[in-house]
């Protein structure tokens, strides 16, 4: 599947807009970044990655002055598993929700139980 970087970023923006307001209101100091590929050392088929300290592990730390957490969405691996633009939209939504769940401290097993990865 081919899609321009701009179209893909639009899909990511749409996925973020689909988050319930009570969820998006709690996303504080989080940057959502689209990259073409996962960084070296990561699996080449990785679709997304949460880089930060989950809310459940921020005991007593207000985060003042802290660098933002990052949610990375990898364009090329997502496009590689999709056949249509609709598939891309669906996969981006699942990937964004999956990584946002990690921000809230939900582990991989529970995310899969909930059907988001």
- Render pLDDT for 33-76 as a digit per residue (tens, 0 to 9): 999 999 999 999 999 999 998 988 876 655 566 688 999 999 99
Q: Say what the pLDDT of residue 67 is.
A: 80
- Render pLDDT for 1-29 as a digit per residue (tens, 0 to 9): 999 999 999 999 999 999 999 999 999 88
Pairwise CA distance, residues 11 & 84, whole Å: 13
Backbone angles phi, psi at 32, to 5 degrees: -100, 120
| 27: its two tokens | 């996303």
- Render pLDDT for 98-107 as a digit per residue (tens, 0 to 9): 999 999 999 9
**Burial track 43-57 (b if 16+ CB lie within 10 A, e otherwise):** eeeebbbbbbeeeee
- Render pLDDT for 72-98 as a digit per residue (tens, 0 to 9): 999 999 999 999 999 999 999 999 999
pTM for the complete prediction? 0.91
Report how many domains make up the chain: 1
Residues in Cβ contact with 30 at an 8 Å cutoff, skipping those fewer than 6 apart = 52, 68, 69, 70, 71, 103
Give the CATH number for residue 99: 3.30.2010.20
3-state secondary structure of 79: helix
Query: Can you give the residue range of the structural domain that contains 74?
Result: 5-113
Q: Say what the pLDDT of residue 61 is.
A: 54
Q: Say what the pLDDT of residue 75 is.
A: 98
């Amino acid at each position: 599947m081919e899609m321009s970087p701009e179209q893909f970023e639009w899909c990511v923006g749409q996925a973020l807009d689909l988050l319930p307001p009570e969820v998006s209101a709690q996303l504080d100091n989080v940057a959502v970044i689209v990259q073409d590929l996962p960084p070296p050392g990561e699996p080449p088929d990785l679709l997304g990655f949460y880089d930060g300290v989950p809310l459940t592990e921020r005991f007593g730390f207000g985060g003042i002055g802290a660098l933002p957490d990052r949610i990375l969405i990898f364009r090329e691996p997502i496009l590689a598993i999709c056949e249509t633009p609709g598939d891309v939209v669906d996969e981006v939504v699942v990937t964004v929700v999956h990584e946002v769940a990690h921000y809230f401290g939900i582990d991989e097993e529970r995310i899969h139980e909930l059907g988001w990865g």
